[in-house]
A and B are shown apart, each in its own frame.
Chain A
Amino acid sequence: MTSSDDGPGRLLEPSLLRDTLHSALRTGGEFAEVFVEDRRSMSALFDDGRVEELTGGRSRGVGIRVVFGETTGFAHTADLSPEGLRSAAEAASAAASEGGSGLTVALDPVQEVHPGVVAVLPADVAKARKVALLEEADRVARGEGDAIRQVTVRYADSRRRIQVANSDGLLTGDDQVRTSFSVSCVAVGDGGMQTGRESVGHTVGFELFDRVDVADLARRAARRAITKLDAVPAPSGEMPVVVGPGGGGVLFHEACGHGLEADLVAKSASVFAGRRGEVVAAPFVTLVDDGTMAGEWGCYAIDDEGRPAGRNVLIEDGILTDYMWDRLRARREGCDSSGNGRRQSYRHLPMVRMTNTFLLGGEADPDDIVADTERGVYVAQLGGGQVNTATGDFVFGMSEAYLIENGRITAPIREGNLIGNGPDVLQDIDAIAGDFAMGSPGTCGKDGQGVPVGDGTPTLRVTRLTVGGTAA
């Protein structure tokens, strides 16, 4: 592989990329693309009182896509020799049977500016420094009390350099560095075991730890587990749910984010299909997907089709303004990609994915929202979620939640899922505070592909959600 460190756009030589595109177009494809990826990763795991292992990873390869009519041919290879690339290009083009002379491509290099600046490349930091962070987090978490019986701490960094060349003449690249840290604790009490987890992740280098105190993270994870030892069974049935700042992004990710992905919309597999311009939410709801938010977990300079990341307003003042688009779906509809074409790796086809999805802040006072709730649930931290975009039914977990009784936050409740219907929930939001915060880093799964995503919300209330506990 012709690899060099003089910029993200220089993984493979332009002449080799051009030749590969020509091979891919030989059978009559209308569009061809070469996606090159070189990913290096490092992780360190501290578990059960010891540094269990350090892991280094390397993955590099090329995915080649050829489009003709409604059909996409795709092949990938880890063999980056000219022969390996030609062979993959021919495999990708095999689905085309038209024959023909093929198009001629002239590549025109562009360099998009990455939204963030990496101050310290994690690969340049001694492994011992990373290990020291793990030990500190373990020590602090265990120091929170004898109830803490087990602590797992994980550090991970990755550097993903990509290059995209296509038959429209595009030649571009990106250099994506991500660093993350998580602490998980098990606490044991009379009523059994409980868990508490905290994580942080940003599209930045090791300077992450200039602003994130791992001791503070460890303390919060341990306290979460200890607090839950006193948890009462969660209630069951419909009631108001107040979601705390930073904790609620996954609600929108599931309730409507996936349903606004153009590939699902095009197949009528979304309850939001055909509803652009309509009122779909309460008037103070404005939802944004923004891949340009510097440093956030879901940010990048270009998506995995070479399109610059965008700030896309999906719902503005309650009105559905637009869907999220990748190249394929946008081309069919005659519009532009919104920079949401992403893939897990060179081994995967790109599709429409979210980046950093968040609800803009409102004007309510967060304390008033709670005080104004007679009986309900306050969710301080949500877990993951899942949605059926065709019906809009979605669930999300509460990993830290409390009862609200007579306008006050009272007892912690045990874990469980909440269930709702996306279009209903958007209409049932009746209060949004001004205390916006981004949440924890997430990995969004779709069709078996995981990509890093961020989310955020201020404190908000949904008048009616079904809480899936066991108490009456």
Chain B
Amino acid sequence: MAELIDIADRVIGWASADEQVEVLVVHERETEVRAYEQQVESLTVAESQGVGIRVVRDGRQGFAHAGTLDLDVLAETLVEARDNVAFATTDEWCAVAEPDGVPPAELDLHRAALTDHPTGAKVAAALELERLVGEADPRIVGVESSEYVDSIAESAVVTTTGIRSTSRETGCYLSASVLAGGDGETQTGFGFSIGRQPGDLDAEQAAADAVERATRLLGAVKPDSARLTVVLDPWVSAQFLGIVGSTLNGESVLKGRSLFADRLGEEVAAPSLTLVDDPTDVAAFTATAADGEGLATRRNVLLEDGRLLCFVHNSYTGRRSGGASTGSAVRSYASTPGVGVQALALVPGSRTQAELVADVEDGLLVQGVSGLHSGVNPVSGDFSTGAEGLRIRRGALAEPVREFTIASTIQKMLQDVSEVGGDLEWLPMRAAGVSLVIGDVTVSGA
């Protein structure tokens, strides 16, 4: 197929003089292998493409997208985006991004070792992971899923304002979801390993994590309700940080939906918290040199020693709030550029999770949470989520617990962080995890 940048250039060539046009073109190849009972349950080989076209004229924008790059469809999509312009309300800040002079970081996110990897080896990896999990522990009674997934993604953003940005990257992961059992009881656990090429993947670690997560919950009971200190496992803290990130979003701030809107410069969190969004960090699996508008990504310090320093912006929210884009436009080809963090991480402390636990007299290690989408309201700050984990008694991990909730507010939890662990770990999401000790959380159980 033609180079993406050429396809985007062609659409830009169709723009009229009185309009701004932005084109995002994406192409992705994906392979997914699922193993079950040492057979290939499914093998998916997929090629997808898409285009999103935004037209701005006289402070009004229209948008259209399509899941194919056929020429007739590209032309039809531009016409549709143009037609949609007329219905938008005029907004003096509305415009396509312009080059801002920030050079993109040189990130090498593409590995030929993945593009050349044979399908047979991918199948073998999924089967091997399932075997490792099944043999690891007699208490493992089933492997719900064992899979190998990889993708090769390319994209290009071109605008009539002079932006011409391309990116390409590879990624792959192994993941297993297992069932541990005994005495009529079942517990579940998952493990994964993620990288940019197959050689980065560690099947034994993924298997061991899945097995440990499932088996250590065997015999779990519902804890009594109490107010406790909780230690969030990196997997959980990364999800919590993702929610915090959504409250530091320039769009939420401008539209009156952020609980931190009026608090720039204030101490909104414990002094141990320095929160950085840095998509140029190649250790992050969501690393990218260009954002959704084709501007260079950059390192943004959101919280420093607990003080709120800045919000993230795309070009629209940056302009409207009197500043500029922070290179934080996030989107798919099927949406206009939104705003969001892309690779969020706390500056880690120095101690291991075991050392953090040893200092907790009466608490709870939270290994997994559920229902974050239904129990957390990032506008009001209410935080309530289902959880599972292990009790901590006198500095030692004690009995496993499940079927309880932990609750507080986002504002209060940020203030109640007493220590950040040293075990920073990049996860397959827009945030890194690190063990986090948070005091005075309500545990609702029996």
> A: which residues have CB within 8 A of B?
44, 47-61, 69-79, 91-92, 94-95, 127-128, 131, 149-150, 186, 188, 192-195, 228, 234, 236-238, 267-269, 271, 347, 349, 382-388, 390-391, 393-397, 414-421, 466-470
Contact = CB atoms under 8 A, between A and B. Distances in A.
Q: Is chain A's interface secondary structure helix, strand, loop, or mixed overall?
A: strand
A410 B84 CA distance: 47
Interface stretch (B103-111, B166-174, B372-380): B372-380
A416 B49 contact: no
A156 B61 CA distance: 18
Interface in B245-285: 254-257, 259
B58 interface: no
B48 A78 contact: yes
Contacts of A71: 39-43
A347 B255 CA distance: 35
19 contacts: A53-B63, A55-B65, A56-B81, A60-B67, A60-B68, A73-B44, A75-B46, A76-B46, A77-B47, A94-B119, A127-B87, A131-B87, A150-B257, A186-B256, A237-B444, A390-B144, A417-B375, A419-B444, A469-B442
A53 B403 contact: no
Contact of B380 (A44, A72, A194): A194
A236 B382 CA distance: 14
Contact of B255 (A47, A53, A384, A468): A47
A59 B50 CA distance: 9
B226 to A, nearest CB: 9
A269 B179 contact: yes
Interface of B: 36-37, 39-49, 61-70, 73, 76-77, 80-81, 83-84, 87-89, 91, 119, 141-142, 144, 179, 186-188, 222, 225, 254-257, 259, 334-336, 370-371, 373-375, 377, 379-382, 384-386, 388, 402-409, 442-446
B374 A57 contact: no
A128 B84 CA distance: 10
A75 B46 CA distance: 5
Contact of A150 (B61, B187, B256, B407): B256
B380 A192 contact: yes
A391 B63 CA distance: 44
Q: Which of B36, B49, B370 counts the most chain A CB atoms within 10 A?
A: B370
Given A71-B39, A421-B403, A58 B67 contact: yes
A22 B142 CA distance: 37
Contacts of B61: 52-53
Given A416-B384, A417-B374, A468-B386, A70 B36 contact: yes
Contact of B404 (A53, A390, A419): A419
Q: Which of A74, A271, A388 counts the most chain B CB atoms within 10 A?
A: A388
Contacts, number: 264
A147 B301 CA distance: 33
A419 B386 contact: yes
Nearest to B37: A70
Contact of A466 (B187, B188, B404): B404
Contact of B84 (A127, A388, A391, A469): A127
Nearest to A388: B188
A96 B385 CA distance: 44
Contacts of A469: 384, 407, 442, 444
Contacts of B40: 70-71, 95
Contacts of A388: 188, 370
Contacts of B76: 58
Contacts of B408: 470
Contacts of B373: 383-384, 386, 397
A421 B39 CA distance: 33
A65 B224 CA distance: 50
A236 B444 contact: yes
B442 A395 contact: no
A405 B395 CA distance: 40
Contacts of B222: 466
> Nearest 5 pairs between A and B by C-beta?
A468-B405, A397-B374, A417-B375, A416-B384, A395-B371
Given A386-B386, A391-B402, A466 B374 contact: no
Given A186-B256, A393-B386, A395-B371, A238 B446 contact: yes
A419 B401 CA distance: 13
B379 A74 contact: no
A61 B40 CA distance: 25
Q: Which of B36, B64, B81, B374 counts the most chain A CB atoms within 10 A?
A: B374
A54 B84 contact: yes
B256 A395 contact: no
A137 to B, nearest CB: 15
Contacts of B39: 69-71
Contact of A72 (B43, B257, B375, B406): B43
B377 A415 contact: yes
Contact of A51 (B89, B385, B386): B89
A47 B336 CA distance: 14
Contacts of B69: 78
A271 B186 contact: yes
Contact of A74 (B45, B80, B259): B45
A168 B43 CA distance: 22
B445 A237 contact: yes
Given A186-B256, A390-B144, A393-B386, A50 B444 contact: no
Nearest to B335: A55
A177 B255 CA distance: 32
Contacts of B77: 56, 58
